[in-house]
Amino acid sequence: MNVPPCCDLIPDHIRQLAPYQPGKPMSELERELGLTSIIKLASNENPLGPSPKALGALQGLSQAFSLYPDGNGFELKTALSHRYRLDVDHWILGNGSNDLLDLVARTFLGPGTSAVYSRYAFAVYALATQAVGAVGLEVPDLDFGHDLEAMLAAIRPDTRVIFIANPNNPTGTFLDGKTLRRALARVPAEVVVVLDEAYTEYLSDVHRYDSFSLLREFDNLLVCRTFSKAYGLAGLRVGCAAGHPELIAFLNRLRQPFNVSVPGLLAATAALQDEEFLSMTRRVNDQGRAQLVAAFQRLDLLFIPSWGNFISVAVADGAAMYQGLLRQGVIVRPLAAYAMPNYLRVTVGTEAENERFIESLEKLL
């Protein structure tokens, strides 16, 4: 197809963007292969579905669909404030936490600036950085995780943002709270640290650290959370971030006024109170992760120990194995886009889903 001439004038940094590759939707595989019983372990979604409290909050909502949402998200922010003991003006809400990562880039980055992130870290950091014409400084990993020393050393005078995912996706690696805090203390005050904790709810009590208390020490810290993973609300698109009120106010200048939907706000507010669902989610994940680990060990497959609701496992040919699994109705995530062509990332599912994945995998090995 011919490219309209108006597109010739699109700036180079946008031309060179490689679009984010999402997990394959089940409906697409259904259309392509005519399969019926498909399982998706590709996008780190909650296999238990949404929080029941969130579902309850959505009952009888249809009238509200004709009204704009509260652009200020007062009720959700109030609920977050109570839950995490942090005043309302410390919070910002996003259309998923992706929206917030993008907002950070648009607020702090641009041509002539740079952002630091790790090799094998969440792909959106590089995308958001490049999208605004900034330079991405990708730092070599340390055993698939963040090498904080190297990341600190990579900071240049033009660096404005450091992205840290903890636990990291797609590798599942984890930095303990003390290590993190020591590193934060060495980041120049002019550089924003984005601490992306999309999987923090999956940590066990021994590993959990209080990232919100770090905000009292570090004015340049922004802690990002999401309702997409452990709360089971990926389809509703709600994320949140906490930081210094003045930093938050700058992000708010660029935020779309109604970036979180009516159902998103209601569901997230209710989900936040759903401790029971959260602990069940954690329990199912712990068991499922152990189930996958045991299978990988039995099959002599190399895997990266994970602190999240997914595991990345090495196979001879990731692309071929991915296709083979698809043909059996099992969707996982190939990691070629992360320069890990012999790895697949599998989301921890229910016991039955994990079993089906393991059987399919074993057949193909």
Ligand X SMILES: *Cc1c(COP(=O)(O)O)cnc(C)c1O
* Residues at the site binding ligand X, with contacts judged by CB under 6 A: 44, 96-98, 122, 165, 169, 196, 198, 226, 228, 234, 239
How would DSSP label each residue in 83-137? HHT--GGGEEEESSHHHHHHHHHHHH--TT-EEEEETTS-THHHHHHHHTTPEEE
Shortest Å, Cβ 9 to ligand X: 30
Shortest Å, Cβ 94 to ligand X: 7
Distance linking the first and last C-alpha atoms of the chain: 40
The residue (of 118 and 220) whose beta carbon lies closer to ligand X is 118
Please answer whether residues 135 and 129 qualify as being in contact, where contact means their C-beta atoms are separated by less than 8 angstroms: yes
Amino acid making up residue 52: P
The residue (of 98 and 306) whose beta carbon lies closer to ligand X is 98
Please answer whether residues 221 and 189 qualify as being in contact, where contact means their C-beta atoms are separated by less than 8 angstroms: no
Shortest Å, Cβ 35 to ligand X: 26
Please answer whether residues 170 and 338 qualify as being in contact, where contact means their C-beta atoms are separated by less than 8 angstroms: yes
Its sign, for the CA torsion 330, 40, 293, 177, is positive
Shortest Å, Cβ 33 to ligand X: 26
Token readout for 263 is 């159902």
Shortest Å, Cβ 173 to ligand X: 11
Amino acid making up residue 137: L
The residue (of 168 and 360) whose beta carbon lies closer to ligand X is 168
The residue (of 44 and 291) whose beta carbon lies closer to ligand X is 44
* Neighbouring C-beta atoms of residue 123, cutoff 10 Å: 16
What DSSP designation does 145 have?
B
The residue (of 96 and 145) whose beta carbon lies closer to ligand X is 96
The residue (of 129 and 360) whose beta carbon lies closer to ligand X is 129
What DSSP designation does 332 have?
-
Shortest Å, Cβ 125 to ligand X: 9
Which residues in 334-355 are b (16+ Cβ under 10 Å) and which e?
Answer: bbeebebebbbbbbbbbeebbe
Write the CB contacts of 91 (distance below 8 Å, at least 6 apart in sequence).
Answer: 73, 77, 80, 81, 240, 241, 242, 248
Shortest Å, Cβ 299 to ligand X: 26
The residue (of 113 and 228) whose beta carbon lies closer to ligand X is 228
The residue (of 40 and 356) whose beta carbon lies closer to ligand X is 40
Shortest Å, Cβ 150 to ligand X: 20
**Cα Rg for the chain, rounded, in angstroms?**
21
Q: Which residue has the tokens 């399969």?
A: 35
Q: What stretch of H or E contains 15?
A: helix 12-15
Give me the residue whose beta carbon is nearest to ligand X.
Answer: 96
